[in-house]
Chain A
Amino acid sequence: MNMRLLSYFLLVSIMLLVTACSQNPVFIEYQTLSKIGDQPEWATKDWNDNNWDKKKAVLSSGEVYWTRTPIDILQAPEPLHPYAIRPYIYGEYEVFWDGVLIGKNGNPGKEEILGPEGEMLTTFIIPAHLTEVGEHMLAIRSSIYHFPDHVGMRVDIANYDELLTERLIETSYMHIFAGAFLIASIYFLFLFLGNKKEYPMLIFSISCFLFFVLNLAEFITTYVPIHYAYHHIRLETKAALMFGISFLIPLYFSKQFPFPKRKVFLISYAIILLFTFFIKHNFLDFTSRNMALIMWVFSFGIAIFGIYKRMKGALLIMLTLLISLLINFIISFQVGIFIGFSIILLGMFYLLSLRIKEQRLAYETSLVQSTRLRLALLKKNIQPHFLMNTLTSLIDWIEETPKKGVLFIEALAKEFDLFNQIENKTLIPIAQEIALCRSHLEIMEYRKEIDYSWQDKGIEFDETIPPGILHTLLENGITHSLPKSDNRIDFKLIFESNDDYKSYTFLTFAEIIKERKNKREDGTGLKYVKARLTESYQEKWEFTSEPVDHGWKNTIKIYS
């Protein structure tokens, strides 16, 4: 995992380098002046625009307006490598450079009649002879029929090839990222489908998928032409994705580092996030930034809690959060948000791998535990106390009354046979367990010369139970009690069930040996019972064992 983490970090560093190495600009952009109206002469380089407005034009509908922006070219292009200009403007427009029309994006002023045409991002070559060092004039004739209040512009001028390829390169890097997260998303979705209790995996899978879509939405403009009228759909999509991710990340951390009052916390977090989402909703970048910040603060809080409680992986998560914050300080929000998210997602990925490792270890332990339980069951019949005492009694019976000795051997054979049938099972029919108990009592009668009796009530014979647990309770009952005055010990098993649980009550009617009455720790027998219950019912059981007036009472409750 650490190797993988390392390689991702290398990729991130390369991206940082690429971003940091962009060249110095070859131009200076001066104050843009604007004017509503439409005159072809406004395109000329030397037009007197003293009376033009420095503020953004206030438009009412699809009327044409002009902007004039003086631009200094600082460095002439190399021969055969012309400069190009890329305006970032809402609307349909024509671009004039030093009075020459160099490009057209849609039909300014005729949007309503001709319908949407053109795209968000266009790049126009500036004729080589017009890009000598010195002052130039960029005039743009445009209209914004669909969003008249979205006036404003910025331009980028650079070598034509560079301008086209730079964003492509950036996009391809980002898409490599996106692909990785798509794969991760699918992989963890499958893992979740394989084990539907693993909600962190689902959350992680969704986060990765949202991140993948966010990445696509951000960079789709590079290769899919979108008309400005539809551009806000993309922005809304981005903001909604940001909202989803911003909610899911702290939710994920709250699953991994559980803290008290999680529900209240998460609900209030969701409310704050929604509030942020809807306030100043038109400034979507601002909204995204705020949501990212809130997400960061809450996640950081959870990570700190995790560290305070010494939870595994919390320190790493805090580090990834700090690194993502640092990166957002260094580079622009547009790219920083992606890298930051990537790092956080990697941290989450690492946490999941930690959990998967823990689960594997737990599973291996449970296998070992099952084997141990099986051995414990097998051992019941060969442990010296049972075997040697039985054999001693058996010898005695054979020496004294051979016929009874034979019956004793038959009883013993029956118990061995029953043990053979159940030794490799984790659940057996209750009838089989009762048969086992009865045959054990038969053997013990020969050994102890006490009248044992067995009674059961309400048993449903198709119910199942872990093997040997009633047998163990019976053994305890025999070992720890003395017969009543009539030399009897009675055992009774009662089964009850309702919608919530099934219960077995196992009663011993006898004199309980005095010194046992007060101190009774978990002997190996009770440990066996509990381990078997856990093996088959996980946490959904309850077991009590206590002295009562008539002897001893055990209850096993199995919740449905």
Chain B
Amino acid sequence: MHILIVEDESRIAKRIERMTRDIFGDDLQSIKRINTLHEALKYIENNTLDLVLLDLNLNGESGFDLLTTAVSKSFHTVIISAYKDQAITAFEYGVIDFVPKPFNRDRLEQALHRAITQEKIRSNTIKFLAVKKRNKVQLIPIEDVLYIKGAGTYTELFLTDGKKELHDKSLEKLEQLLSFSFERIHKSYLMKMSEINEIIVESGSKYMAELKNGELIPIGRTKYKDIKAKWF
């Protein structure tokens, strides 16, 4: 487990580090504290991480750029901030949790737990998926996404306009963030359920979801029952 803490208040950064070490114990391979935006961005670009704990107000500057960069990456992001009113925005951009200051160990543990397990966000708060383009991060509105296909450690977002975008997060992580309106209908597919027109049963117990635009996406044999029970 590799963790980055971005926080310019030394005492608080140390507190987070101490608690994180305590919570993860031996699972923790590395933990790094950074106190400026610039360095944090550089570190995120050049290192493999599993989790970033991020304060949005560093040295009087808004960490908005850092936020969009962080959420476009493969790891989950937890925001730890004094500004509770930023929580909504943070969730819209796809953070896994928002810990308001002041916080205690239990609250931090809850956030870390949510990030490393498969715990799903059950509220409809995410508005965008941040996709890393050559020099910038592009925000793709969730309503433009039809379904998501796993491709190794990456995912492919299939959009309403027929385009396809690559995302750094794994299908599992996106499933966590998007579970309000998306369902894992296949080990390789995360489907926006409102896009399904009907479920077609083919010979040999093959199940296919027919989308409103006519596309056919396979439904996993084991998933079919759950989906039917839950959605139809």
Binding site for B on A (CB under 8 A): 384-385, 387-389, 391-397, 446-450, 476, 479-480, 482, 513-516, 523
Contacts and interface: CB of A to CB of B under 8 A. Distances in A.
Given A446-B11, A448-B9, A392 B103 contact: yes
A516 B37 CA distance: 11
B82 A387 contact: yes
A514 B61 CA distance: 12
B25 interface: no
B43 interface: no
Contact of A391 (B36, B37, B83, B102): B102
18 contacts: A384-B83, A384-B84, A392-B82, A392-B101, A392-B102, A393-B11, A395-B104, A396-B12, A396-B14, A448-B8, A448-B10, A449-B14, A479-B60, A513-B36, A513-B38, A514-B38, A515-B61, A516-B61
A523 B60 contact: yes
A389 B36 contact: no
B35 interface: yes
Contacts of A396: 11-12, 14-15
A448 B102 contact: no
Contacts of A514: 36, 38
Given A384-B84, A385-B83, A513-B36, A392 B59 contact: no
Dominant SS among interface residues on chain A:
helix
B138 interface: no
B220 interface: no
Q: Which 8 A-B pairs have the closest CB atoms?
A: A388-B82, A392-B102, A388-B101, A479-B60, A393-B11, A384-B82, A449-B10, A391-B102
B104 to A, nearest CB: 7
Nearest to A475: B60
Contacts of A385: 57, 82-83
A518 B114 CA distance: 40
B100 interface: yes
A448 B82 contact: no
Interface in B92-119: 100-104
B10 A389 contact: no
Nearest to B55: A389
A474 to B, nearest CB: 13
Contacts of A394: 102
A447 B60 contact: no
B176 to A, nearest CB: 27
A446 B82 CA distance: 17
Nearest to A396: B15
B88 to A, nearest CB: 15
A482 B12 contact: no
B12 A392 contact: yes
A317 to B, nearest CB: 50
Interface string B31-61: 0000111100000000000000000010111
Most buried by A among B10, B36, B84: B10
Given A392-B12, A392-B15, A480-B60, 5 more contacts: A393-B11, A482-B35, A514-B38, A515-B61, A516-B59
A388 B8 CA distance: 14
A396 B35 CA distance: 18
Contacts of A388: 82-83, 100-102
A396 B101 CA distance: 12
Most buried by B among A385, A389, A391, A516: A389
